[in-house]
Structure 1
Amino acid sequence: METRAPFIIVGAFVLAAIAAVFGFVFWLHNTSGLGARTTYHVQFNGSVPGLLVGAAVLFNGIRVGEVTELGLAPDNPRQVNATIGVDAATPVRADTKVGLDFQGLTGVPVIALEGGTQLAAAGTVPTLVADPGAGQSMTQAARDALRKVDTVLTENAEPLKATIADIRTFAETLARNSSKIDGIMQGVERMTGADKPVVNKVVYDLRAASGFAPPAKPIKGQLAIGEPSFVVMFDTQKILLAPGLDYPAFAGFQWSDSIPKLIQAKLIQSFENYDITHAPQRASDAVQADHQLLIDIRSFEITGSPELAAEVAFSAKIVGKDGKLLAAKLFRASAPVGKPEPLAALAGFNQAFGSVAKELVLWTAAIL
């Protein structure tokens, strides 16, 4: 007995030391260290599922303490009272918000503190009141939401049935009149042009008059040519067809600019081809013009009587600086279009425009 006694004492001492170490580590983990602690009472007006003594207390997401006591309020069965111990340096205020948070996949409950500005009275242990529903878990929240949805559906069962019946009636009506609806949609497509295939546009440019003989008489003074006047139908880049003509081949035909601006530009180029030294300017560009050439478009289209032809016609007026009319004349020319194709139409317009443009240039030079 005397030989074995020391081993028993040593073994007991080792076990006690190990238990003390584990206990100390556990105490440090649950009390967050050896620093000074401040105690607060927390009041929950509802259940706190899973909250235990020793649960963590977080302030703005940082662990600052733990739950030290937990119990039911004797005078209110719906109320749960908890006591928490937190680090003394934690800025807990009387209006600090209190809630119950669930961490991790298993949803371990912790008390979460957040914010606050009001200081508690000296010497008192403030009671922090948790937000209503703070102890509600995600599962409970889902149950409550489903319960509310079920209540709404129950209260509105008859209106819902009526609505579903109306939808069924509407669907049956659509099914019975599907052919009529198809006809309506086809009519809308025809009206908006959505049923027509997309046509790739090809841009064509008009050729200015050229081939003038050396000018025997230069144009005197500064001449300005403004944008021609026109009716709305000429404000387009499409090729214009006389009433009654319809050639799908012209669907992709497009002038390089609107017809009035195109005629203005090509008339200026025609004058430049006649005498570049005394060429006119655009009316908007001329600082002070001695004369203005005013153009009014009469025709710029494909006609079909008696045969396809490109027709160009406009009136011209020469006005002095004082606004006095010096001369006026109507110019018209047409050229045959061999077949209803864009290139043939372009050749006809070039020939007709070249004829009237050359006549206009020579007439203007003779007047001025």
Structure 2
Amino acid sequence: MENRARYILVGLFTLAVIAAGFAFTYWLNTAGALQQRSYYRIRYQNSVAGLLVGSAVQFNGVRVGEVTALDLSPDNPKDVVVTVAITPSTPVRADTKAGIAFQGLMGAPAVALAGGSGAPLSSETSSADMPVLVAEPNAGETMTEAALAALHRVDAVVSENAAPLKSTMANLSKFTDALARNSDRVDGILAGIERMTGGASKAQNAAFDLAAARTFPKFEKPAVGLLIVQYPIAAAMLGQDKILIRDAGGLKPFIPEAKWSDMLLEEVQSSFVRSFENAGFLGQVSRPVEGATPDFQLVTDIRNFQILAGTPATADVEFSTKVLNSEGHVAGARLFHANSPLHSEDAVGAASALNAAFGSMLPDLVVWTSTTIGNVASTPH
């Protein structure tokens, strides 16, 4: 009985070993190293540094096999022939591109296959007579090699153009020296160009006011009622805010940047009103007011308000005034005219001279207007 039991155990062990051998053989032919593979040779025309037997083979980024051999080409010492084994279902075409990919910045290199739309490339299941793919010329070039090649090309360009570069640097040195010697003049030239193209910031315009009379000769102040100072009339050129000059070329702005603080006619009207108020007619004189019925009106016509070019230049101011009664009839009329020399031929000198000429007539205007109104009031109707 003991002998039979021993034989049974030996038999069972033998059957188990045979079953395990069959299972191992099946694994090798399906998922293991003896699985059916397709073999290809890839010819690289430069270095394949870092590529080893067992390195991965990828098709469009998917691992499909591994490198089985690395050989130098006997026909061309520059070429390296890499033998790869990949799964038979990999769609390798005659125009499939071969290269080397790096897994990460510092990762191990792998054979990279990509694309292809031509006819399928016949494959072999053994290492004899394998089809050949030719890699792109720079397929095995690393980033370091590419950088060195670029630097070599730059160095070659610089070497070939050494003489022109030297001449250019010498001319640039001369130009910078000349620019340094004329730096003050360059600032002026640039400022002129900026003004010519309209890019310069506009200077702040100087604005001037017409003064009102404050001192008057003694005169009798009549009962005026309401005196309305009408808006003056003048030629269109005089109706702006520019200080004007008349020379051989006609009437034009004296200094474009200089102007009155308001339109000239507004300034004249305001100066008239303030002069009458300063003379004691406060509450009895006004600009036109809607609904107000004036007892008298002061109507003014500006004839001249300008600088006359000459040696010396003078300010010339001339205006006529009319006093109208409540019925609109002319109660009196007078022409006022005055000149004043310019003490300086600039905006301040021009404004001061015009103010002096205009202001010298304001006391006479107030006294004459008051006298005219008094004569009308004393005349029996």
TM-score class, shorter: 0.3 to 0.5
TM-score (norm 1): 0.47
Rg larger for: 2
